[in-house]
Structure 1
């Protein structure tokens, strides 16, 4: 059996307006990762592989969790939201979101345009994004063991799409629910990839940590 534990990075720079500025953990993000690492070490700390994307916020989350990174894989890198949001505004007149409420309505529109290949000049096509993620997951299913993957919300959402055969609207809704430092557990058994846990945050259940439940 293969067990895959997906973790979304801790809170990043939520005030950023470009990819580079966003790609660093906030102090709360580091604390979220530390708490999660403590939880995993107290329950089951043993992983055959620890893999992150090449983004700073992903690798820094794994390190703050207290795990040594086995390797980094670009296929775990996040979609480039800021670039696509700018393209959506310039090409289709959809305003750039100004707050979290705007973002909740903006993401499904962006995903729909991206999936239908209606955005020109974006860094990556939707079909390529989906293919690289499912390729990596399929590779991991072929190997036995326990793997920790530290990645981003968009990647985790696409994994859920792959497992549960979600449509585009449902995928966007799933992405919007994925919390910073959340844990998602997959099992490959009987030649099938099964979802065991979605969006768990046991490390944030302790009194005084309600403020640490963040989405952006």
Structure 2
């Protein structure tokens, strides 16, 4: 049996203006991760491997969950949103919005431009992001047992694109609906990856934790 559990990191420093400032968990992010760790320990805590990306918010999420990573893999690192946003403004005159409402309209434009190679002088092309994400998930799928991967929303979106055959717009809309500290389950069945569940947050189901359901 091969099962892959993808975990999105807890809420990061959403008020940041650059990648470095964003890359740490907020107080809420630490709390979300701790609740998730409690839920996993009470249900099925046994994993054959626990892998995080190399980003601080991913490492902090695993630590707050109470799970020690067995290794790190930079292919689990997130796309560099702030670099894409700067390129979008400089090259196409489209500035990043201030409101969450406008962000949901803005992000599909950014990803579309990126996927169509209409953003230049950026750290990573869409094709490279796709290649490293797919290579990583297929390598993990080829191993037996249960794997926990602590990663980010863009990587999860790209995995969904690969598994479900999504177009770019559908992938982006799934990314935008991915909760902080959410759980996504994949299984390797009859030679291919299949999706068992998407965006689960059982550790936030209690009424007094409704405020902890965050996307950004």
Bin for the TM-score computed over the shorter chain: over 0.9
Give the TM-score taking structure 2 as reference length: 0.99
**Cα shift at 1:207:** 2.5
Q: Which runs of 5+ in 1 are unaligned?
A: none
**Cα shift at 1:189:** 1.2
Q: What residue in structure 2 maps to residue 165 of structure 1?
A: 165
Instruction: After TM superposition, list the pairs within 5 Å mapping 1:186-205 onto structure 2.
Output: 186-205=186-205
Q: Which runs of 5+ in 2 are unaligned?
A: none
Number of aligned residue pairs: give it: 216
Over residues 122-155 of structure 1, what are the superposed CA-to-partner deviations in whole Å (9 max), with x where a residue is unaligned? 1100000000000011101111010000000000
Distance 2:118 2:149 in 1: 31
Q: What residue in structure 1 maps to residue 11 of structure 2?
A: 11
Distance 1:99 1:79 in 2: 21
Distance 1:79 1:160 in 2: 15
Q: What residue in structure 2 maps to residue 87 of structure 1?
A: 87
Q: Which runs of 4+ in 1 moved over 6 A?
A: none
Q: What residue in structure 1 maps to residue 211 of structure 2?
A: 211
Q: What residue in structure 2 maps to residue 34 of structure 1?
A: 34
SS in 2 for 1:51: strand
SS in 1 for 2:193: strand
Over residues 56-110 of structure 1, what are the superposed CA-to-partner deviations in whole Å (9 max), with x where a residue is unaligned? 0000000000001100100000000011101001000112121211211111000
Q: What residue in structure 1 maps to residue 185 of structure 2?
A: 185
Q: What residue in structure 1 maps to residue 127 of structure 2?
A: 127
Give the TM-score taking structure 1 as reference length: 0.99
**Cα shift at 1:196:** 0.2
Instruction: After TM superposition, list the pairs within 5 Å mapping 1:58-97 onto structure 2.
Output: 58-97=58-97
- The alignment's C-alpha RMSD in Å is 0.6
